[in-house]
Amino acid sequence: MAPLIVVSGPSGVGKTTVVEELLRRKTLPLRRAITATTRPRRGGEEDGLSYHFWDRVRFEQEKAAGGMIEWAEVFQTDL
């Protein structure tokens, strides 16, 4: 198995830009993992390509079934 490289940072810092540039250069054998989120889609995002856009129920089911390497609750919107 290839190593897992995590690019992390606050929203809007440019993570996607950095990853897309590394993939575009094709100098390393990289591929992008598609992660899951419960947030709504933003303009230009596609389900299964940008993220897996799941509702809270589906997310919790995947979590309970051990389908996640890791997860985090970043924003709580039901306050």
pLDDT digit string, tens, across residues 65-77: 999 888 888 876 6
Contact between residue 32 and residue 19 where contact means Cβ atoms under 8 Å apart: yes
Segments making up each domain of the chain, as ranges = 32-72
CB 7 within 8 A of CB 18: yes
DSSP label of 49: T
State pLDDT tens for residues 10-47.
Answer: 888 999 899 999 999 998 889 888 889 998 999 999 99
pTM of the prediction? 0.66
pLDDT band at 1 (very low <50, low <70, confident <90, very high): low
Give mean pLDDT, residues 36-61: 93
Q: Is the dihedral of CA 43, 48, 51, 55 positive or negative?
A: positive
